[in-house]
């Protein structure tokens, strides 16, 4: 999948060929390290549940689970593993955990790459209303996110179509079936939990994930919000300055301008691609930190009252 945007960023075909090489080893290292961290946090929660010492494990567990979406994103691009079937396997596992359909997310994300920041065609922002300070805080806290996410699964399982005008008829059939299978899976987990008298799914999975979605929203908002729909990735996408731990958690997605420029490049090569982007431009692309962007948005909303998904706000801060 390639974006249709023109590129002011130029990278030689030879460099791209080298950067586009996939690696099962690097895919396994990233995937197992994050899944292993979740397993260790689960052990910590089991050991300390009921005491204050469980709180940091709860917080970290929620962060780790929500950041699996960065993996979902890369798995949808089939760039995590060289073996295509592994991208499919872990993509479906991670999306199931995150209460979203892999096929639905993949269809919508490819639409996003083709029409970045187009309010009529970018499936990730279509129908988005201007934010007020209150609605932005509610979004960041995920209070409004989870009802919408769960509602989408239910509506798709019921066969509704009107909320997804960007999906073709064949795609709608796929996501309807997918949502129904997901509900069967969740129902099975619920039945097993009731039969065993266990709240493990709630304690170690759903509650941490619901509470800590706010952390992953730091990345979601900064990538494109407020950027214009123009035919240049350097102008409609931001790069994020982030700590190495954040790069690990987010599968190098802070190098977002590089990713949108050449989405076939695997996550573990994005740092190298970013350097070539800087060389091509002769300067850094529009770049922020996660927290500086949030400060900017809050101040903007306090001053102006509303803010849209798209605009001309490309200042680095």
Tell me if 314 is assigned to some domain. Answer: no
Beta bridge partners of 203: none
Domain that holds residue 69: 13-307
Q: How far apart are CA 212 and CA 59, in angstroms?
A: 7
Is 80 exceeded by the pLDDT of residue 6?
no
Tell me if 168 is assigned to some domain. Answer: yes
Predicted confidence (pLDDT) per residue in 211-220, tens digit: 999 999 999 9
8 A C-beta contact, residue 217 and residue 140: yes
The token duo for 110 is 């490819």
- Over residues 83-89, the mean pLDDT reads 97
The reported pLDDT for the residue numbered 151 is 95
Predicted confidence (pLDDT) per residue in 25-36, tens digit: 999 999 999 999
Tell me if 312 is assigned to some domain. Answer: no
Tell me if 200 is assigned to some domain. Answer: yes
The token duo for 267 is 């996550």
Tell me if 66 is assigned to some domain. Answer: yes
Tell me if 8 is assigned to some domain. Answer: no
Tell me if 142 is assigned to some domain. Answer: yes
Using 50, 70 and 90 to split pLDDT, how confident is the model at 315?
Answer: very low
Q: How far apart are CA 236 and CA 228, in angstroms?
A: 5
The reported pLDDT for the residue numbered 127 is 66
DSSP string, 62-78: HHHHHTHHHHHHHHHTT
| Domains contained in the chain, number | 1
Tell me if 5 is assigned to some domain. Answer: no
Is this structure's pTM higher than 0.75? yes
């Amino acid at each position: 999948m390639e974006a249709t945007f023109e590129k002011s960023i130029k990278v030689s075909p030879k460099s791209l060929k080298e950067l586009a090489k996939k690696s099962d080893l690097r895919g396994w290292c990233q995937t197992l390290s994050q899944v292993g961290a979740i397993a260790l946090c689960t052990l910590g929660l089991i050991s300390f549940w009921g005491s204050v010492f469980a709180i940091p494990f709860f917080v970290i567990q929620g962060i780790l689970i929500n950041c699996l979406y960065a993996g979902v994103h890369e798995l949808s691009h089939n760039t995590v593993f060289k073996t295509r079937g592994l991208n499919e396997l872990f993509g479906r596992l991670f999306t199931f955990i995150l209460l979203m359909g892999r096929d639905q997310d993949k269809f919508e994300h490819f639409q996003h790459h083709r029409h970045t920041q187009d309010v009529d065609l970018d499936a990730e922002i279509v129908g988005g209303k201007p934010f007020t300070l209150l609605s932005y805080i509610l979004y960041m806290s995920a209070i409004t996110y989870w009802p919408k996410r769960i509602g989408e699964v239910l509506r798709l399982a019921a066969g509704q179509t009107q909320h997804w005008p960007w999906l073709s008829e064949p795609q709608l059939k796929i996501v309807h079936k997918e949502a129904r299978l997901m509900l069967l899976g969740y129902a099975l987990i619920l039945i097993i939990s009731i039969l065993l008298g266990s709240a493990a799914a709630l304690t170690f999975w759903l509650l941490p994930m619901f509470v800590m979605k706010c952390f992953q929203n730091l990345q979601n908002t900064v990538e494109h919000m407020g950027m214009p729909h123009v035919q240049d990735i350097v102008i409609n996408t931001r790069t994020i300055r982030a700590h190495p731990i954040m790069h690990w958690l987010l599968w190098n997605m802070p190098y977002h301008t590089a990713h949108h420029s050449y989405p076939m490049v695997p996550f573990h090569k994005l740092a190298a691609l970013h350097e070539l982007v800087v060389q091509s431009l002769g300067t850094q692309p529009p770049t922020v930190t996660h927290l500086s962007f949030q400060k900017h948005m809050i101040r903007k909303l306090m001053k102006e009252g509303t803010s849209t998904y798209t605009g001309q706000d490309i200042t680095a801060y």
